[in-house]
Amino acid sequence: MQYTSELESTIQDMGQKGRGVLAADESAPTIVKRFKAIGVESNEENRRAWRSLLVTTTGLGEYINGIILFEETLSQKTDNDNTIPSAAWAQGIVPGIKVDKGKIPLALSAGDLITQGLDGLAERLCDYRQQGARFAKWREVYAIDKHVPSKHGIEANAEMLARYAAVCQEQGLVPIVEPEVLMDGDHEIDRHAEVTEAVQHAVFHALRRHHVQLELMILKPNMVLPGKDCRRADADEVAAATLKVLRRCVPAAVPSINFLSGGQGPEEATVNLNALNQQAPDAPWRLTISYGRALQQPAIQAWQGKKENEALAQQALLKRARLNSLAQLGQYHPDMESSDA
């Protein structure tokens, strides 16, 4: 493979214990919702200001080793006139890019979804690489209901993820493979585990068919959780269920499992990550994060779109990143939430 050394370098730069990925790749509809909640218009300048604030947080690179960006962000600049990707890398944070084009219904498969974006992907990746991106991310989404996801839906989504990952490695970008089984609904944790296991099995079979090198990719899965409308599970139950699925499905060759937060609150996501690392200190993969809202929510609430609140927002982001770093080491305790240190 042409870019093996570059891919290995990216994996190494994103592989340190105690560091994880910040997802700042919100699509246009999602960032509108986030900004609307704080009374801020989602225009290009406000999006630039927010993402500039993220990458210029002093000390963030101690806890974060990668950032997923939205397409427009690659060419935007910080207040200091550096490109956002170069400002991230100045802190040792590897810039990456979301490359899927969003989900649509899967034809003739009621309730199943499929993600668009494979057309022209190789050419887009070449452009993104020239703009500083070193990894990419693609998300497939699986809703849970009585008859979904179907076997056909699971296999179709796995094929999309594998095709994307193969193109990424061919073009010199590390693929983050994100199969997200949603926690929407009233299903029990056992049902979420059953679907997550079926999804991950299909994904890794497809990755092998497409000759994807597992050592040169990152998995971004959901934790195994009960549905939002079901009873809550404690962190030890979540960790045990999640690890059971991972041990059955994910080869040891995969270097890093970077969990999505998937609707969990900031503290809940940290507590569950900590339990995972406490229960599996010798896991063959790094168990870390690729959190979006669970890292950003306290910061965006502190920011409120105001220049004078930037320092407070950066403090909130840094605190959340530090607590998740401790959780990756199994050293987090909820009492730390009340500390300003």
What's the pLDDT score for residue 232?
A: 87
- Whether 140 sits among the annotated catalytic residues: the reply is no
Can you give the pLDDT at residue 339?
75
Question: Distance (Å, rounded) from C-alpha 155 to C-alpha 147?
Answer: 15
Using pLDDT thresholds of 50, 70 and 90, give the confidence band for residue 96.
very high
pLDDT digits (tens, 9 = 90+) for 142-188: 999 989 999 999 999 999 999 999 999 999 999 999 999 999 999 99
Q: Distance between alpha carbon 98 and the CA centroid of its chain, in Å?
A: 10
Within the chain, residue ranges assigned H as helices are: 4-13, 28-36, 44-55, 84-89, 121-130, 151-171, 189-209, 235-249, 266-279, 293-303, 310-328
Percent of the chain past pLDDT 90, that is, above it, reads: 94
225-248 burial: b if 16+ Cβ within 10 Å, else e: bbbeebeebebebbbbbbbebbee
Question: Please, what is the average pLDDT of the chain?
Answer: 96
Confirm if 143 and 113 have CB atoms less than 8 A apart.
yes
Through-space distance between the first and last CA atoms of the chain, rounded to whole angstroms: 46
pLDDT at 206: 98
CB 289 within 8 A of CB 14: no
Q: Which of 178, 180, 310, 319 is catalytic?
A: 178
The count of domains in the chain is 1
Averaged pLDDT for residues 232-259? 97
Catalytic residue among 159, 220, 310, 319: 220
- pLDDT tens, position by position, 305-327: 999 999 999 999 999 999 999 99
Closest CA to 79 of 312, 307, 316: 307
The answer to whether the beta carbons of residues 133 and 85 sit under 8 Å apart is yes
Mean pLDDT of 281-287: 97
In this predicted structure, what is the pLDDT of residue 284? 98
- Reported as a single tens digit per residue, the pLDDT across 104-119 is 999 999 999 999 999 9
pLDDT at 340: 57
What is the model's pLDDT at position 12?
Answer: 98
pTM of the predicted model, to two decimals? 0.97
The whole domain housing 168 covers 4-338
Q: Give the 3-state secondary structure of residue 136.
A: strand
Q: Please indicate whether residue 178 is annotated as part of the active site.
A: yes
pLDDT at 231 > cutoff 90:
no
**Which pairing describes strands 103-105 and 113-115: parallel, antiparallel, or unpaired?**
antiparallel
Give the pLDDT score at 1.
79
Share of the chain above pLDDT 70, in %: 99
Q: What CATH number is associated with residue 93?
A: 3.20.20.70
What tens digit of pLDDT does each residue of 125-147 get?
999 999 999 999 999 999 999 89
